[in-house]
Amino acid sequence: MEQHSMKGRVALVTGGGRGIGRAICELLAAEGAAVAVNYRRDADAAAETVKAITDAGGKARAYCAAVEDVDAARAMVNSVIADFGFIDILVNNAGIGSKGRTVAETEPAEVERLLRVHAMAPHWLSAAVLPSMRTRPRGDIIMISSSATRRMRGNGAPYNMAKAAMDALALTLSNEERVNNVRVNIVAPGLVETDLGRKLAVAWGKSDIRDYDAESPYRHVVQPVDVARAVLFFCSSMGAYVSGERLYVDGGGPMESF
| H-helix or E-strand spanning residue 141 | strand 139-144
Q: What is the DSSP letter of 221?
A: P
Residue of 63, 159, 212, 248 marked catalytic = 159
Three-state DSSP state, 166: helix
Closest to 39 (Cα-Cα) out of 23, 21, 17? 17
Beta-bridged to residue 142, according to DSSP, are: 91, 185
What is the distance between the terminal CA atoms of the chain, rounded to a whole angstrom?
38
Q: How far is CA 148 from the centre of its chain?
A: 15
| H-helix or E-strand spanning residue 174 | helix 157-177
Q: Is 39 a catalytic residue?
A: no
Beta-bridged to residue 184, according to DSSP, are: 141
Task: Specify whether the CB–CB gap between 245 and 184 falls below 8 A.
Answer: no
d(CA 171, CA 168): 5
Which phi and psi (to 5°) does residue 145 adopt? -95, -135
Q: What is the DSSP letter of 222?
A: B
| H-helix or E-strand spanning residue 34 | strand 34-39
Give the catalytic positions in this structure: 159
